[in-house]
Structure 1
Amino acid sequence: MTTNDAIHQHADLANSTAAARATAATNQTPKEIPRITSGDLMQQKRELEIDHAGRIYRLRITQLNKLILTA
């Protein structure tokens, strides 16, 4: 076996290993993250308060239609 053959064999092995890892990663069942629209959350209001562990947070929609969460 020449050095060139060994290099190609090593590259082929590395590529097949990487492909197997990618396939295994995509075959795992992802945990679904619940999604709610901002409209459903805000209920036609521009601001709401969230009580988290006894602390009040304020979620607001800005004039540029961005969300800001403050403590």
Structure 2
Amino acid sequence: MTTTMPATPPAITAHAHAATLAAAPAVVPTKRITSASLMGDGREVEIEHSGRIYRLRITQLNKLILTA
């Protein structure tokens, strides 16, 4: 019985690797802020987005709810 080794994959050239890296989008870290810094001493803030006003508020169960 004869066994054969699987074919080895083609080598990745430096040029092909550089092209792959260049095509990958830059990773931008997500900005994080605390609800306390956003809300201040209040329980509700208004946020303007694309000409509309949204209301972010803290509920009685200490959850956040965003409404238009």
TM-score range, shorter chain: 0.5 to 0.7
The answer to whether 1:51 aligns with 2:13 is: no
Structure 2: runs of 5 or more not aligned: 7-25
Moved over 3 A (4+): none
Query: Which residue number corresponds to residue 12 of structure 1?
Result: none
Provide the aligned C-alpha RMSD in A. Answer: 2.3
Query: Which residue number corresponds to residue 60 of structure 1?
Result: 57
Deviations 1:28-60 (A, max 9, x none): x74211110000000111011011111000000
Equivalent of 1:32, from 19, 29, 37?
A: 29
Greater helix share, 1 or 2? Answer: 1
Aligned residues: 50
Amino acid at match of 1:42: M
Relative to the length of structure 2, the TM-score reads 0.61
Amino acid at match of 1:58: R
Relative to the length of structure 1, the TM-score reads 0.59
Identity of aligned residues (%): 64
- CA distance in structure 2 between the partners assigned to 1:44 and 1:30 by the alignment: 34
